[in-house]
Chain A
């Protein structure tokens, strides 16, 4: 069945569904094409409970026609060129990766937008913090952000948070007390998690499973805007894999080829096309759409499509606090050290934040299962074993510095035309390297973690030697004013094709140190009016 609409949107994650919702409400005829399936929360919860290894992807189907990367095997879908392994994952299903995000909604700080002019490194964004500030507020209302107005986050606000803050965990409070008199401040994290009923969704019930799934949708996910878009008249088509973007002689996008799970092909046409398929699938689609006339792919006269791939490399540090902290309760993280994101030292090393966990050693060591295993192997039994597990797990602290990574054209994703998925689509081949600028910041993060552990009279301290991925895929179709150095203009319109918009963290010229989702949402909302005017 061919689809025809005013606007066809590829991808139903936070960016695609927000734009679909706004456009449909404005009376625009919208079709959203989602590569993956529709997922029912009850089925996903059941699959999560049955899973032996509970990684972020555990609750969700991995469909042969829309395969996604998995956190515990970065080689399953990605083809890795090295030298470092790119291990960030994402989902392909209706609602996208917001199904398993943590919910952190930090804004970027003003300096994140001007690294070149202020510190002489990387590139500036073509827009400033001030340009985006009203849209941050708008995004916070759409997603439903709970925040502490007193928390110092180096990002000026003109509008209040949508909801009162999520209470700090007891362990956050003890950490704050222990750090009194040190240079380090732990503050409440703004998060898209309900502290009261909002958007017809309930308040958080402390299921402690934000990643990979919230059982009650107290944590925002994009299925909320998918439903709102459908109620406003948008058509959302699941299992519709866009495999080619066609370009007419005049440079306008003329249509999309859509491959179905049975490998039959359909066509989608529209006046305006929006691709919001995240940082790997979007550039891959553009590059695999190469033709004789456009040998380097669609929207790629700059040769920047697929390049400048960035993540937030992270390092795990964990220890046993000197007192019970009541870990494994509530949202997985409710606080962090954020003032390390802004400072003049950005000339020398990357901006970073330190996530303070509420889930014990779950991430670094697979607790509490590993805790119960170790203590029972020690020969403890009955009430002694119960007490030991309860005491140890209660005192487990984990601090995770997450650092900025500078854009490098050499870090890139390309379609591998020799390695294809079940419906014949090239798989992503990735070249990725973490440089000294990021590694120096990881060192600083590790040093701060040691100081925090000492302040908490911690024992059994551990530092993971390598780094872990954050799942923050950014930079692969960056925005800028110079068509030779960027893929989209400040409106997120492709320099090369007037009726093509690209949304998502792929447009970030630099990646800051804050989790990207709120900025993705703010930029998507900012693009709505330009998209509508182009219809």
Chain B
């Protein structure tokens, strides 16, 4: 019992130290991640809170944290890992769903960029005047 408690305490200390080290090392800052996302998405306005969720999830995984740091620093010619991570980041922004430990989580319902691409609000929000759905869809860019 005593050793279990000690181990738990030690584990906690290690965790604390590692997250502190992560912050101190700051492999990628929130500003850098937003800038990267803007570049990948071709959009300027991005939700900071959603960006924070995505960045935290990526930094929590050692492999993706390293790849993300390289991706932020790269100037083109992405490696296979960097291209794959770029696709993941784009997918997260468009669907509003990201992953932590392989499990999906919702970052945002109304802020998922797919609704923006479809030029309509996410379901659950009044969308248009009564009967607008009977008109042809608007012309797209």
Contacts and interface: CB of A to CB of B under 8 A. Distances in A.
Nearest to A194: B130
11 contacts: A49-B110, A206-B126, A207-B123, A326-B133, A326-B135, A326-B137, A330-B134, A371-B114, A373-B95, A383-B42, A390-B140
A173 B125 contact: no
Interface residues of A, number: 50
A167 B128 CA distance: 14
B105 interface: yes
B91 A387 contact: no
Contact of B124 (A49, A52, A169, A358): A49
A39 B125 CA distance: 19
Interface string B81-112: 00100010011001111000000111001101
A390 B119 contact: yes
A142 interface: no
Interface string B110-122: 1011111111101
A contact face: mostly helix, strand, loop, or mixed? loop
Contact of B134 (A52, A169, A373, A379): A169
A387 B42 CA distance: 13
Interface stretch (A24-32, A98-106, A154-162, A208-216): A208-216
Given A203-B130, A330-B127, 10 more contacts: A169-B133, A207-B123, A209-B123, A324-B136, A324-B137, A324-B140, A330-B133, A369-B95, A372-B95, A379-B83
Nearest to B132: A206
Given A205-B130, A206-B130, A382 B123 contact: no
Interface in A326-385: 326, 328-331, 334, 358, 368-369, 371-373, 376-377, 379, 381-383, 385
A170 B140 contact: no
B125 to A, nearest CB: 6
Given A168-B134, A170-B134, A390 B118 contact: yes
Contacts of A385: 90, 94, 117
B137 A394 contact: yes
B133 A358 contact: yes
Interface of B: 40-42, 83, 87, 90-91, 94-97, 104-106, 109-110, 112-120, 122-137, 140-141
B134 A167 contact: yes
Nearest to A387: B140
A203 B42 CA distance: 38
A178 B81 CA distance: 47
Contacts of A169: 133-134
Nearest to A388: B117
Contacts of B94: 372-373, 376, 385, 389
B102 to A, nearest CB: 14
A51 B106 contact: yes
Contacts of B130: 195, 203-206
A50 interface: yes
A206 B133 contact: yes
Contact of B112 (A195, A358, A369, A394): A369
Contacts of A45: 124
Given A170-B135, A329-B133, A372 B123 contact: no
Closest 4 A/B residue pairs (Cβ): A330-B133, A326-B137, A382-B42, A205-B126
Contact of A50 (B91, B106, B119, B126): B106
A216 B127 CA distance: 12
Contacts of A376: 87, 90-91, 94-95
A201 B131 CA distance: 17
A393 B127 contact: no
Given A203-B130, A326-B136, A389 B114 contact: yes
A46 to B, nearest CB: 10
B123 A208 contact: yes
Contacts of B123: 207-209, 328
A511 to B, nearest CB: 30
Contacts of B119: 390
B75 to A, nearest CB: 17
A329 B128 contact: yes
A173 B128 CA distance: 19
Nearest to B114: A372
A330 B41 contact: no
Pick from B41, B97, B117 the residue with the most CB of A within 10 Å: B117
Nearest to A359: B123
A467 B109 CA distance: 29
B133 A393 contact: no
B90 A207 contact: no
Contacts of B117: 372, 385-387, 389-390
Nearest to A203: B130
B35 to A, nearest CB: 16
Contacts of A326: 133, 135-137
A207 B122 CA distance: 8
A325 B137 contact: yes
A204 B122 CA distance: 16
